[in-house]
Chain A
Amino acid sequence: AQTVTQSQPEMSVQEAETVTLSCTYDTSENNYYLFWYKQPPSRQMILVIRQEAYKQQNATENRFSVNFQKAAKSFSLKISDSQLGDTAMYFCAFMKQSGAGSYQLTFGKGTKLSVIP
């Protein structure tokens, strides 16, 4: 079974600064996907960024980028130029296909990020 570990329950960052959220995972699979999801206080889960395990290049989406270290099974999220709207729970998630078309997402426990004005 896959496990996803987020070791930082809470973090804070000053507006306009940069913050990095950590995530490690455990799997014996070679092909899989990794994601960072954002869940603002309104609870609507939104995809922030994804990474295919077969790609060596780190994914970037505007102010969001990842540092994917496959051998170390590490997948951190960097948020640059933090904005007040970035305040939310951030979940790291792992996905692989597991038989009969099942695409189960396994989530970490989340990191609560607060952006301070």
Chain B
Amino acid sequence: EAGVAQSPRYKIIEKRQSVAFWCNPISGHATLYWYQQILGQGPKLLIQFQNNGVVDDSQLPKDRFSAERLKGVDSTLKIQPAKLEDSAVYLCASSLFPRRGTWGEQFFGPGTRLTVL
């Protein structure tokens, strides 16, 4: 079974430029997550999708970050314009549909390391 795919693996941009990350979840996984992992910290959830709808985007800086999941499969995360503090690893994860009383194991992709100069 193929895992969560992300691209690119590395990206270097100047501040105020735009950047986009792509994620392809595990086939059949209805739930998709984007996390930001700043160096020396644990991942922080940015946004959670259920199929193509947003479930939780409370920690997404909406003035510069946007995300979409068209057709409930692939997802893109965009930053426009980027700031120095956006330098981080952006992790995508997916899980089966979590139901009350159960838990949905999240499977993580390899991440995209973003450096903003």
Chain A residues packing against B (C-beta within 8 Å): 4, 33, 42-47, 50, 52, 91, 93, 95, 97-98, 100-105, 107-110
Contact = CB atoms under 8 A, between A and B. Distances in A.
Interface stretch (B12-20, B61-69, B102-110): B102-110
A109 B44 CA distance: 10
21 contacts: A4-B42, A42-B110, A43-B113, A44-B111, A45-B43, A45-B91, A45-B93, A47-B105, A50-B103, A52-B103, A101-B98, A102-B55, A102-B56, A103-B31, A103-B48, A103-B95, A105-B43, A105-B106, A107-B42, A110-B40, A110-B41
B48 A43 contact: no
Contacts of B95: 103
Contacts, number: 61
Interface in B62-111: 89, 91, 93, 95, 98, 100, 103-106, 108-111
B100 A97 contact: yes
Given A42-B110, A50-B103, A109 B50 contact: no
Contacts of B89: 43
